Amino acid sequence: MGAIRTYLKLGELLEQYPDKEGVLKDFFDAGSSEELLRRYGADAYLNRMLRSEGKPADTLLSLLNEGEEDRALMHSGELDFLGMTICLMRQRFQACFDEWMTDYRGETGRSFNCYLPRNCGSGNPYRNVWQAENVRDFPGIVSGCGFSDFFRAEFRDNLLNKNVFQAVDMPINASLSSDLIDPYGAYTLYGIYPYVMMIDETRIGSLPRPREWADLMNPVYEDNVIVIGSPEKVSELLLMYTHKEHGDEGIRRLGVTIKDGWHGSRMAKTAGSGSSDGAAIYVLPWAFARFSPRPDKVSVVWPEDGAIANPLFMLVRKDRYQELEPIARYMTGPQLGREVASCSFPALNAEVDNALPAQAKMKWLGWDYLRSVDLQQLKNHTQSLFQQNWKRKSLAGIFK
C-alpha cells in the first residue's frame, strides 16, 4: 500500500503491518490488539477511530510510517496514485484524500494502491519516476506541483510525446482562462498557485507603484525587491516568466533590482514592520500576501498582466484511465477544489468559488512554449545569468 494512510482498516493494518501493533496500542491506550479489535472492530477505518477519539491523524501517521523507508516498495508501474502536492497544502491534501478514499471504499468495496509522500523534500522514494522510459514503469496517476521534473525535456521525449497520457475533460472555472487547459490533452491542471506583488507602504515613498511584471526591471527599484528564494539563490519562476518576454536583458535587470530571496512567510511578517532587512516591493504567493499581519501598512498588487501561475497538475495514464477515473474525478472535482481554493490556490473546477479579486487573471507560460523549450536548461541559464548580476552596487553597463 506504500505509505500507511488512515483509510486503512484496523484489521488490515494489524494483518499487513504486525510490527505496528505497539504503536496502535500506545496511541489508543489499549492493552492489546485484541482490546483494540473489541473496542473498534476489524473493519473500523483509522480516520474514523481518530475522529471518535479526537486524536490527530498526522501524529499517528508519523509514528506508523517511521521506518517504512526500509520496507520493500511496490513497483512504480503498479502504483495507482502517486499523490504529491505543494508543501503548504500537503497535510490538508492528504487528509482530504484519506477521507475520500474511506468513503469510496465504504460505497464500492474497492481500494487503490496509493503513495502520498509524508515529506516535502527528498524523502519520496518515487521521486525519480519522471525518468521512466516506458509508461509501464509510470504510476497510473501522478499529481505534482510547479514546473517540476514532469516538465523536463527528457520526460517530454521519453513519455509525453508518445501520447500515453489523457487529460480529464471538464468545464473550467469562470474566473480562470481556458488557456490553462492543455490543448495536447496530456496534463490536467486542478489548481493554480498564484504569485502577486505586495507593496510596503512605509517604504515605497515617491517610487512609482508597479502595475505589471515588467515594471520590476525599472532601475528605480535597485536593491528594493524581495522574491521567493534564499540568500544564495532565488526561485526560477519569476526568472522564467521574465525571460520569455524580455530575454537575457530582463534577467540582467532583475539581478540589479532584486535585493534578496526569502520564504513567503517571512515576507508577510516583515512587510510594514519597519525592519531594515525588508524592501519596498515583495513578490510572493497570494496565499501569504492576502494574510499579512499589517494590512493597514501593505497593499497587495494583482498585476494587470496577471498573477504568475504555478501549476498544480495531474498526469493520468491513458491505458489506465477507465479503472482510475474515480481518482481523476476526485482530483478535479468540487470537493477537493473547495479545499484547494480555501488555501488560496484557485481551483479549475467550475463549481468552486475562488474568491479572486475583481478583474484578476493569471499569467501562464503557455503550453506551446512549455513543449518547445528545455525547461531545465532554461532554469539553469536564467539562474546563472541572474547570479552574474545579482547584488551589484553599480548599474554601469546594465542600463546603458
How, if at all, do strands 362-363 and 281-285 pair? Answer: unpaired
Q: What percentage of residues in the chain have a pLDDT greater than 70?
A: 96
The CATH number covering residue 303 comes to 3.40.190.10
Report the pLDDT value the prediction gives residue 310, as an integer from 0 to 100: 98
* Residue 27 domain-assigned (yes or no): no
Q: Does residue 7 have a pLDDT over 90?
A: yes
Domain membership flag for residue 280: yes
**Is 236 inside a domain boundary?**
yes
Residue 94: Cβ within 10 Å count: 22
**Mean local confidence (pLDDT), 44-55:** 96
Identify whether 215 is part of a domain: yes
Q: Give the type of residue at 263.
A: H
> If pLDDT is split at 50, 70 and 90, which confidence band does 393 have?
very low
Coil, strand or helix at 349 = strand
What pLDDT, on the 0 to 100 scale, is given for residue 121? 64
The answer to whether residue 1 scores a pLDDT higher than 60 is no
What cell numbers appear for 270 in the block? 516583515
pLDDT in tens, 371-381: 999 999 999 99
Q: Cβ of 166: how many Cβ atoms within 10 Å? A: 19
Number of compact structural domains in the chain: 1
- Mean pLDDT (the chain) is 94
The pLDDT assigned to 396 comes to 44
Q: Please determine, for residue 107, whether its predicted confidence score (pLDDT) is greater than 80.
A: yes
Task: Look at the chain and count its residues.
Answer: 400
Per-residue model confidence (pLDDT) at position 325: 98
**Structural domain range at position 258:** 194-307+380-389
* Residue in the block written with cell 489508543: 28
Q: What is the C-alpha separation between 209 and 206, in angstroms, rounded?
A: 9
In this prediction, residues 119-141 reach a mean pLDDT of: 90
DSSP element (H, E) containing 114: strand 114-115
pLDDT at residue 168 is higher than 60 = yes
Residue 203 domain-assigned?
yes
What is the reported pLDDT for 124? 83
Scan for cell 517571512, then name that residue: 266
Answer whether residue 394 shows pLDDT above 60: no
| Segment holding 193, helix H or strand E | strand 187-200
pLDDT in tens, 50-106: 999 999 999 999 999 887 766 778 899 999 999 999 999 999 999 999 999 999 999
pLDDT over 90 (residue 262): yes
Q: How far is CA 387 from CA 234, 239, 381, 391, in A?
A: 9, 11, 10, 8
Q: How far apart are CA 345 and CA 98, in angstroms?
A: 20
